[in-house]
Amino acid sequence: MIFPEVSGQNLEFENFDLPYNLEGELNLLIIPFRRWHQNLVDEWSFYLNSLEKKYSNFRYYEIPTLNRGYKIMRFMIDGGMRAGIPDKAVRERTITIYTNKTLFKKKLKIASEETIYLFLMNKNGEIIWRSQGPFDKNKLQTLEKYLMKRDL
């Protein structure tokens, strides 16, 4: 499965065409749909920061996903997120997309917006691992196995 092509902007005003112009050879995208998902993202981020240090070819990004109609409020929405994130590195890795969520979820086989989704992909956007929901050690170990295979 290939990650769908979408455009977004990080909280430092840089434009991105996903999945192609990301920094890593392997990129993990965390997709939250709701404000309360931030707690789930933060828990994952704690462990993903360690993986970034351990595997030089790995990067991760947070991709808040909103319906296209909210794009007219982008200044307020992204501004609110930016104001709440003092760490520049976190703002750089947070890329908001405004898209047709129904089509986006269909392409990624996302059944519900009630949790977060994680997609590990290569430079070509090919999804090589996926998960969803809160952090747990088994999910992290499975993710790391994929990173070890690719870090040879």
Cα 76 from Cα 55, distance rounded (Å): 35
- What Cα–Cα distance (Å) separates residue 23 from each residue in 43, 62, 81, 105? 22, 13, 22, 24
Band of the pLDDT at 151, cuts 50, 70, 90?
low
122 pLDDT above the threshold of 60: yes
Phi, psi of 150 (to 5 degrees): -90, -5
Band of the pLDDT at 46, cuts 50, 70, 90?
very high
**Pick among 3.20.20.20, 3.40.30.10, 3.90.1310.10, 3.40.50.10490: CATH of 6-150:** 3.40.30.10
Instruction: Work out whether the CA dihedral 132, 93, 10, 94 comes out positive or negative.
Output: positive
Q: Which residues make Cβ contacts (< 8 Å) with residue 69, sequence separation at least 6?
A: none
| Domain boundaries defined on the chain | 6-150
62, 41 in Cβ contact below 8 A?
yes
64, 32 in Cβ contact below 8 A?
yes
Before 19, cis peptide (omega within 30)? yes
Q: If you search the block for the tokens 């993986």, which residue do you land on?
A: 51
Band of the pLDDT at 152, cuts 50, 70, 90?
very low
Choose the weakest-confidence range: 1-5, 77-81, 97-101: 77-81
42 pLDDT above the threshold of 70: yes
What pTM, to 2 d.p., does this model score?
0.90
The pLDDT of residue 85: 72
23, 59 in Cβ contact below 8 A?
yes
73 pLDDT above the threshold of 80: no
144 pLDDT above the threshold of 90: yes
Average pLDDT over residues 114-128: 96
The pLDDT of residue 50: 95
Band of the pLDDT at 82, cuts 50, 70, 90?
low
